[in-house]
Each structure stands twice: as structure tokens, then as C-alpha cells.
């Protein structure tokens, strides 16, 4: 066989190997997201249909000028308030980022819920919920939560449920879709971001990394005893 005749065959073989490698890499990259989606089966509800649990865990999101929740965070907090108002939960754990002096998600979240009429003792703040994994682990190890209703946007819910359930927190979820029509492009971009975030989730869960911990905090115990 001449060089000219064999060259297309070699090129075809090389392209085939490249395509196969790309498929394998894509499958590996997407597999954490598939795992997360599997965690939602039979575990997501509306505020009306969710079974009662003692605690709602609200994941933090952006706050505006350190005084007001963003639209996404406000939607989460409104769900948590409704769960408390209708007796679906007894206490709310607001978990977010407070790693900088001038940025405090948990206090803004707590102030919003108190402003809606929730009793002060029923809203407990977690100031080191820097990401989804940290919030789940700290809910269990710092606040003693063993069973909870998770509250976040629906695109984030699979990762939140998968993370909490894998670390041992028995969780169901109520997701928000109300903010999607206001900015569909932003919603789509955030949903797409869940694929790389799923890779980080896999690392966190496999490595069992230690989040920022500390002494056991009795806020949830006090809230449930009332």
C-alpha cells in the first residue's frame, strides 16, 4: 500500500480515537450531574405537597448592598416563610457567606424572615455556609440537623439534594422557578454552570474535605424545643 493510500486511513483512525476520547471525557464530566439528578427522584415537592419536617435549610445567594436579598434569594426565603407559616417546618436555618466583614448573607436572610413575621428564635443563622457542601455538612455537624427540607432554585436542587443526602442528611426539597421568566438568559447560564459545579461536588464528596467547623451550636435545638 502506498503512503497516499494509507494516509486517509490513518487520519480516520486518529479522528476516531479523538472522538472516543472526547466522549469519555464528556461522560466523566457529566456523570456527577447525572448522579445529582438521580438524587432528586421522588424527593422534590411544592410548598403544598412537601411532607412536614422540623427544619428548612435555605442556601445563601447574593445580597444587595449588604441590606436586601437579591431576587433569587428573596424567592428562596419566601418559600421558607410559607413552609413555616403552613406548619410544614418548625425552624429555618439560613446558611450563607460571611467570610468578609462587609458581606453578610445570613444576617440579611434572617432580617428578611423576621420582617415577614417569623419569631426570632425560629430563624437560625449559619455564617460559614460558603458553598453547598459546607452548608450540608455544617447543618448536621454544627446544628444537629438530621432531616430537612432544602430550599433553593430548582436548577440547584439536584446538587443540593445529592450533596446533603450523601453526607448523611435525610433531605427533600422545594425548588423555586418563579425568577426564571424575569431573566431567562441568566437562568440558563446558572443552570449550565451546574455541570462544572457537579465536578466540584464529586471532589468534595469523594475527598470528604473538612469545611470550616467549630463548636456545636444549639440554635436549632432551642427552636425545636419551643
> 42-92 pLDDT, tens per residue?
999 999 999 999 999 999 999 999 999 999 999 999 999 999 999 999 999
Q: Which CATH class is domain 8-225?
A: alpha beta
For residues 34-46, give the mean pLDDT: 86
When mean pLDDT is compared across 19-28, 75-84, 161-170, the lowest value belongs to 19-28
Entry pTM: 0.86
- What is the residue-averaged pLDDT of the chain? 89
Q: 31 or 33: which carries more pLDDT confidence?
A: 33
What pLDDT is attached to residue 27? 45
Residues 6+ apart with CB under 8 A from 34: none
Amino acid at each position: 500500500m502506498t503512503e497516499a493510500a494509507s494516509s486517509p486511513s490513518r487520519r480516520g483512525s486518529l479522528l476516531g480515537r479523538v472522538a472516543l476520547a472526547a466522549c469519555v471525557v464528556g461522560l466523566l464530566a457529566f456523570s456527577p450531574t447525572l448522579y445529582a439528578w438521580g438524587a432528586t427522584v421522588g424527593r422534590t415537592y411544592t410548598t403544598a405537597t412537601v411532607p412536614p419536617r422540623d427544619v428548612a435549610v435555605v442556601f445563601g445567594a447574593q445580597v444587595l448592598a449588604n441590606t436586601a436579598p437579591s431576587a433569587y434569594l428573596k424567592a428562596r426565603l419566601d418559600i421558607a416563610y410559607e413552609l413555616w407559616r403552613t406548619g410544614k417546618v418548625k425552624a429555618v436555618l439560613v446558611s450563607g457567606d460571611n467570610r468578609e466583614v462587609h458581606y453578610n448573607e445570613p444576617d440579611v436572610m434572617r432580617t428578611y424572615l423576621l420582617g415577614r413575621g417569623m419569631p426570632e428564635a425560629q430563624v437560625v443563622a449559619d455564617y460559614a455556609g460558603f458553598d453547598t457542601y459546607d452548608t450540608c455538612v455544617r447543618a448536621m455537624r454544627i446544628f444537629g440537623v438530621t432531616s430537612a427540607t432544602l430550599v433553593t432554585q430548582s436548577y440547584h436542587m439536584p446538587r443540593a439534594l445529592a450533596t446533603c443526602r450523601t453526607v448523611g442528611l435525610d433531605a427533600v426539597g422545594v425548588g423555586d422557578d418563579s425568577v426564571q421568566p424575569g431573566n431567562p438568559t441568566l437562568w440558563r447560564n446558572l443552570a449550565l454552570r451546574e455541570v462544572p459545579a457537579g465536578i466540584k461536588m464529586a471532589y468534595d464528596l469523594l475527598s470528604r474535605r473538612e469545611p470550616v467547623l467549630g463548636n456545636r451550636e444549639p440554635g436549632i435545638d432551642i427552636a425545636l424545643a419551643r
